[in-house]
Amino acid sequence: MFLDTYVHIHTEYSNLRIKDSTVKIKDLLKLCKEQGVKSCSITDHEALTGHVEFLNEVNKMKKDGYEIKPILGNEIYVTEDDAHSKNEGHFSGREYNHLILLAKNLNGYKQLCQLSSQAWENGFFSSKYFRVPVDYSDLKKYIKKGDVIISSACLGSFLGHRLLTMYYAKQEGNNELVKEQAKLLDEWVVKYKDLVAEGDLYFEIQPNEPNTDQWIANKLIVKFAEKYNIPVIVTCDVHYLRPENREAHEVFLRSKDDDNREVASFYKYTYFFTSEELENFLKLNLGEEKYKEVINNTNSVKDKIEIYSLDLPTQMPNISVPDKIEFKDIFKDYYESHPAFKFFRYSDDVYNQLLFKKLEDGFIERVIRDPKKKKKHRYIEELHINLDVLQFMQTEHNKNFSSYFLVVKELNDLIINQADSFMGLSRGSACSFLVNYLLGIVEVDPVRWGLPYWRFMNKSRIDSPD
């Protein structure tokens, strides 16, 4: 049977707090294409940072003729005793269990964002690592039924911990501990089933070799899932792409201050398995009938995922505006011959008006009062060209950049007015736009040096200023 859906994968964005994965998104998608995978997730460790790049790369591949359904997820750390809601805070020694969340739709993704923000607010240092946990109460607060899929994750999960504790307690004849863990597991399943829609809670198994904890846990998970009619899925918990990348991954994990980190057995099978490789492990581990069921369950996850975009229109920042804007009308003789001047001077948009007023002030200070600038008409013509581009962006593409320039000016003024601060004369192509010079955003005069305005903004490139 062919596994066409992979729902637990870590990329380089899992390295925000600790070295973890050597997977590059482009390489991941290239491998998916080679293997004919139809759907793929990224579930970095409490990080949503890679999702935009992931979607962009998926869209690029679509244009090249290969379609793959992206699944945006997160691997989070949960404590069951609600430290945050009790105002007790988080600290080392509490149990923080792994859990996989997958957004089924845009609403679900927003819920993942809310939870991630909460996790980073809860963050604390434990030894040399920064932990970012959430409470079960946080999950209950933000997750809405029908929007998110939950998977039990790796052996670092509540499910994995408890089942293995039960298993070894039973081996030792500790029946009291077995009963205690069984009760906790029953309560956990009821709680987490209540968080999501029917069928959206999954138990997760992962490939490993015989007589390992993972091998044992797989059998226990399948048996426990039958009790509650929970579908079981298989994931590879990918941290590097293929077995030949394992050595490089180990070197990466042990680099710098982590040279004593034990990684050999822990990450041995955390690569992107082919369907054939999974079959070799799972048939032996679970039997052929259960193996087929697990593959079918995993492939069906993609059918619950909607295609949605994270793209948003450009949002221009706003600043405070004076109650009354007093113009000096130094360009009044040009309003008819230079229509962009008139557009901004008499605009209904207050940010257009304020920008034009500040350009008047800048023109007086930096051009009219400068005895070295003899050819004032060159500055008038250049300024009109600049404003004509900005008018075009507004009228033809609904992009008003006036507030953008005003905010950048405020930021520059704030930095310059600090006693111990220093600001460079310019950055990139900004010095070629006279508007920037007149506002004091840059100190390079583009007219004097003959710099072409179109390097910064022009009518054929419908982008925000750089």
The Cα 195–Cα 191 span in angstroms is 7
**pLDDT score for 154:** 95
**pLDDT score for 143:** 98
Per-residue pLDDT tens over the stretch 369-385:
999 888 999 999 999 99
pLDDT score of 92 more than 90: no
Cβ burial 336-356 (10 Å sphere, 16+ → b, else e): eebebbbbbbebeeebbbbbb
**pLDDT score for 89:** 60
Kindly state the average pLDDT of the residues 171-198: 97
SS3 per residue for 179-215: HHHHHHHHHHHHHHHHHCCCCCEEEEECCCCCCCHHH
In this structure, the strands spanning 201-205 and 97-103 are unpaired
Q: Do 382 and 453 meet the contact criterion of CB atoms below 8 Å apart?
A: yes
Tell me phi and psi for residue 163, to 5 degrees: -65, -40
Q: How far is CA 440 from CA 231, 346, 437, 445, 462, in A?
A: 63, 23, 5, 10, 24
Give the model's confidence band at 422: pLDDT under 50 very low, under 70 low, under 90 confident, else very high. confident
Sequence letter at residue 52:
V
The Cα 229–Cα 190 span in angstroms is 12
pLDDT score of 433 more than 70: yes
In the chain, what are the domain boundaries?
5-304, 332-455
- Which helix (H) or strand (E) element contains residue 74? strand 69-79
pLDDT score of 403 more than 80: yes
**Token pair of 183, please?**
């009760």
Per-residue pLDDT tens over the stretch 294-328:
999 999 999 999 999 999 877 777 788 999 999 99
The Cα 10–Cα 16 span in angstroms is 12
Give the model's confidence band at 118: pLDDT under 50 very low, under 70 low, under 90 confident, else very high. very high
Q: 5-304 falls under which CATH superfamily?
A: Metal-dependent hydrolases (3.20.20.140)
Kindly state the average pLDDT of the residues 80-107: 78
Give the model's confidence band at 86: pLDDT under 50 very low, under 70 low, under 90 confident, else very high. low
How many CA atoms lie less than 13 Å away from 455 in the CB half-sphere?
13
**pLDDT score for 267:** 92
**pLDDT score for 127:** 72
Q: What is the DSSP string of 251-303?
A: HHHHSGGGTT---TTTTTT-B---HHHHHHHHHHHH-HHHHHHHHHHHHHGGG
**Token pair of 449, please?**
């040096």
Least confident of 4-8, 228-232, 457-461: 457-461
**pLDDT score for 370:** 93
Closest listed residue to residue 245, CA positions, set 17, 31, 16, 465: 31
Kindly state the average pLDDT of the residues 419-440: 87
- Which helix (H) or strand (E) element contains residue 139? helix 136-142
**Token pair of 89, please?**
């805070």
**pLDDT score for 220:** 97
